[in-house]
Structure 1
Amino acid sequence: MSVEICEVPKSRKIDEIEKWFSEIYNKRPEFYIRVPGRVNLIGEHIDYCGYGVCPMAIEQDIFLAVSPENSQKKLFLHNLDPKFESYHCPLINDVQIELSGTAPKWYQYFLCGVKGILETLSDKEKDKIRGLEVIVSGTIPQGAGLSSSSALVSAAALATAHALKIKLTKEELANICAASERYIGTQGGGMDQAIAFLAQEGCAKLIEFEPLRSTEVRLPGGAVFVIAHSLSSLNKAATGDFNCRVVECRLATQIIAHRKGLDWRTIRRFGELQKALGITLDELTALTKEILHEEAYSKEEVIKELNTTSTELDEVSLTPNTQHLQSFKLYQRALHVLNEARRVEKFHKACKTSAGGEDSLVTLGNLMSQSHQSLKDLYECSHPQLDRIVELARGVTLGTRLTGAGWGGCTVSLVPPENVDKFVDLLIEEFYKPLGIKEGFQSLVFPTTPMEGARIYTPKN
């Protein structure tokens, strides 16, 4: 199924964007693109290991106004947020994304999406390439772990595909965007892009991989999720922290594969390893505890375990921004991934068998709390301000955890309906005000419900 095309809704937001578009480009937009952010309810740092996750789309979004441009075959980008500079470049098949080693520029995420679509064109189809005039507007907080970057990549890809009349399914778009976002240097999985396109209003999704597929997750009655920003943030592409966790999981997988007589060079994810060995998740967990030791592995020890060389390890297993690392916590990272994959299964089962009773909500909350503890202790990707919110949430929520990559960003809490206002007020008084925040609380802590995925809007004929 391809992305739904709808009539442009009437709203002040549309009117304002159209006004800016007319002033900048001296024409009206031909179409609009909306891609939502997401909150991951459970299943953190396991999509890139091949295991299922459980996100839902949120109201906050990336919104584009677009008009194809034929005369110059250039991409023109203007962001309504004044802190982001405008950008333009030739729109050719070989789009270059040159990273300088610091945080990527905002427009480079857009270029990832464009590049992903252009790379699907055959030589004959390259004649289709047209320029694009675009205005970008966004309400997803940056660095909050709510997928602002992936939403921008996905919006750019969808806009390019629609302008060039390229027909792609939602699953194809999600796979293209997941692959093309890696041009920014982050070795992420496919969760963010999948939920951006596959989300349905009113339900979360179990997203599984290889092949990409999604299943409705109907949340029990009385389930209210509250998002709270920790006021700390991390740009995943600006540091090696995220990629460090990716390669630690990869190395753990490859050492176990090698010990079991498999070609470690061809296996990069725990999901692949489990399938190759033909064992259950519990059996793989037991095998991991048997083979890996709790002490950190030195790079020399990894090389010896795999009977390889430093050069081959750098080329096969590491990324450019992790090749300097000399120590890897493989046991801890592996246990988090495998236990978190089991928590996702339990979360989905509790939702499927729920009759909306209190017991199922308690189960979901406990799983979320266990997830945060694992992310804090085994994966070491929490942050003191995230942990502070988790502490304040005890007794008021059923469960609270960091959501997104971590090292800052947001928490998500499962809150009984009667406690929502109490929890929001508690965070305002005990967390935000002591940090000097005096206003704008509604954008920092808010309840959310599952929203729809990406849409294309066109004017009424």
Structure 2
Amino acid sequence: MKQIVVKGKQRFEEKTVLENNTTVEFSVIEDSIISENVYIKNSEISCCLIESNSKVVGEKLYGQVIESGYPNLELVTYPKPQEIEKLLERIKENQIDFSKIFGDYPDIIEERKKIYLDVLNRFKDKYGSRKVFLVRVPGRVNLMGRHVDHRGGYVNPITFNREVVLVASSREDDLFKVENYYEEKFPGGEFKLSEELPEKKIKSIDEWRKWTQVKYEERACRGEEKSWINYIKSIVYLQEYYRIDDEWYLRKLRGLDMLFYGDIPMSAGLSSSSALVVATYLATIAANNLKISKKRLIELCGYSEWYVGTRGGCGDHAAMIWGRAGYVSHIGFFPLRISYAKFPSGYRVLVCNSFVEAKKMTGAKDIFNQRVACYEIGFMILKKRYPKLLSEVKYLRDINTLNFDLNTIYSMLKSLPLRASRKEILEILPEEKERLKQIFREHKEPAEGYAIRDVCFFGIAECERSRIVYDILSKGDVEKFGELMKISHDGDRVVKYSDSVEKEWKWSATDDYLDYLIKLPGDNPEKQLFMQPGAYRCSIKETDYLVDLLLRQKGVIGAQLAGAGLGGCVIALVDEKYIKEVVDILYREYYDKYGKPRTGVLICVPIEGAGFVA
């Protein structure tokens, strides 16, 4: 994109047209960057970046990035900070309509109000009487579309009645003072934003990926890689967003005094860590009075979380920011887009915690990043082997039944190696040596090699399932939806339980299996892409046991792993008439039997997404 840079105060006393159809009328412009096709009228613009196809009329803007398409954007909205005593009174006196957030569930509303009051009072004890923002970010349960948001696939989440809560107050400097309600378990800390920034402006996602990997390795050497405050430090990426070059910033962000509370189960696949990132961003945006769209916020949060060393997408952040009470969000990526399907009437989502923690920051991080590497390597091989066929394909999700017939898809998958070592991958892709070196740096080499074909098969099939599920939910076909949940879980499965007998799950996309699929008639249900589990293998024995236990119970429509896996939770869609019986069986056959707390079972309802309590 060509940009016009206007430095030094400029006054235009009559209508003036700059290059590339940029129109300025009766405006003051100082130290700003204005892109193509921008219309500005009766406004004062100081130290801003205005993207293509934006229109600014009658505004005073300082230190903003005005996004393409402005003002026709869904901007993040936020209240003015309130005196903490006033906010406490408003909650106590029922002056806030919480039914808009939680629906017609008075027990949930009372539970949440008690938490908000408690956290506000704790903030007041720590920091004194201040003007504050009260931010709430719910956990998310993704009903379909695991491990595929970063490949362009859809996610289909609900946001549910467990939250990260943040009370924050603006500062005059760039210090972030971070405290936790559970301070004994999560010690507080502080950091200056200016001291955490890269030495030079980050100019691309690849540069951000490399820099965050270096920072992760540095923290690991100091033994600091596990600190929860690293999720708060991810706000560095927002400051980079407002940085034009090494020395020039559109806006230097003000810091915050912060107190966090959370009751989203940790390391359970319900995105408690991403909720910390979203809460930090919302509070910082409000404190700095930033104009930013929800779409841009989602993208920034997704890349921001790379700071902690993981390489996920922005599906969790999108789910939290776009969640709607009573609905399933159908969220697509590249570009970001959202639609909604009504959550099935008469059903509840049961969340069952295995209490095996999925610790992204220790050994599991290697496995998560190995799986992502399989996607990236497999896609590079496919693009190399089918240059004409895949010339317009940008993401793995584009290999679908809208673009290719089934036999072509299965033939392409057959061309991928079932497993390959790093040496073998470099021999296949010598021209990608530098890119592969960066990918390999982010995890240890798997001893058995990279399961490229099985992982890519899962990703392509899961993208298909996550795409078609919107129509299935919109039609109210709950049974079909439950069937897809079961198949999806099989793609992560490692064992199968039948009458409590454990048997290893050995699914693999062998040449013989793919040849079998290719020979089947096109209308054979067994041949369909959405019916193929693939093999991502991020479940564990405990989560497989819970899924199989649930699927044997009357009233359970479907069950599957929740989130990234390697522990954590499973979810089930359950007819509400059978909830009590199903929960009692879970207590007897898992929680009591294996000495796990009964608090591991949550009955969830879809609530409103992230926002402010004001």
TM-score, with length taken from structure 2: 0.68
User: 5+ unaligned residues in a row in structure 2: which ranges?
Assistant: 1-73, 93-112, 199-211, 494-506, 508-534
Q: Post-superposition shift, 1:190?
A: 1.3
SS state at 1:159 partner:
helix
Measure, in 2, the Cα distance between the counterparts of 1:284 and 1:188: 29
1:285 and 1:338 in contact (8 A); partners too: no
Match for residue 84 of structure 1? 186
Measure, in 1, the Cα distance between the counterparts of 2:388 and 2:226: 37
Larger radius of gyration: 2
Q: Post-superposition shift, 1:284?
A: 6.0
Q: Post-superposition shift, 1:223?
A: 2.6
Match for residue 591 of structure 2? 432
Q: Percent of aligned pairs with the same residue?
A: 27
SS state at 1:235 partner:
coil
**Partner AA of 1:430 in structure 2:** E
Q: 2:488 aligns with which of 361, 371, 378?
A: 371
1:34 and 1:454 in contact (8 A); partners too: yes
Correspondence list, 1:13-412, <5 A: 13-70=115-172, 72-81=173-182, 82-92=184-194, 94-95=196-197, 98-99=215-216, 100-101=219-220, 103-112=225-234, 114-122=235-243, 128-238=252-362, 239-261=365-387, 269-271=395-397, 274=399, 279-280=403-404, 282=406, 285-294=409-418, 296-308=419-431, 311-315=434-438, 317-322=439-444, 327-354=449-476, 360-376=477-493, 377=507, 378-396=535-553, 397-412=556-571
Match for residue 357 of structure 1? none
SS state at 2:157 partner:
strand
Q: Post-superposition shift, 1:174?
A: 0.5
Match for residue 421 of structure 1? 580
User: Which whole-Å deviations, capped at 9, do the CAs of 1:62-109 have from their partners, x for residues lacking one?
Assistant: 110011111x53111100112001101123285477433365310100
Structure-2 change in CA distance of 1:430 and 1:73 (3 Å): same
Structure-2 change in CA distance of 1:288 and 1:322 (3 Å): farther
Q: How many residues get paired?
A: 444
Q: Which is further off, 425-434 or 19-28?
A: 19-28
Measure, in 2, the Cα distance between the counterparts of 1:87 and 1:450: 34
User: Which whole-Å deviations, capped at 9, do the CAs of 1:170-213 have from their partners, x for residues lacking one?
Assistant: 11110100011111111101110111111111101111011111
Match for residue 606 of structure 2? 450
Structure-2 change in CA distance of 1:107 and 1:262 (3 Å): farther
User: 5+ unaligned residues in a row in structure 1: which ranges?
Assistant: 355-359
Q: Which is further off, 426-435 or 371-380?
A: 371-380
**Partner AA of 1:368 in structure 2:** M
Q: Which is further off, 101-110 or 210-219?
A: 101-110
SS state at 2:613 partner:
strand
Higher relative contact order (CA 8 A, sep 6+): 1
Structure-2 change in CA distance of 1:401 and 1:233 (3 Å): same
Structure-2 change in CA distance of 1:331 and 1:73 (3 Å): closer
Q: Which is further off, 124-133 or 300-309?
A: 124-133
Q: Post-superposition shift, 1:348?
A: 1.6
SS state at 1:297 partner:
coil
**Partner AA of 1:382 in structure 2:** S
SS state at 2:414 partner:
helix
Structure with higher helix content: 1
SS state at 1:345 partner:
helix
**Partner AA of 1:77 in structure 2:** V
The alignment's C-alpha RMSD in Å is: 2.7
Q: Which is further off, 152-161 or 72-81?
A: 72-81
Measure, in 2, the Cα distance between the counterparts of 1:324 and 1:429: 38
Structure-2 change in CA distance of 1:403 and 1:449 (3 Å): same
2:116 and 2:165 in contact (8 A); partners too: no
SS state at 2:538 partner:
coil
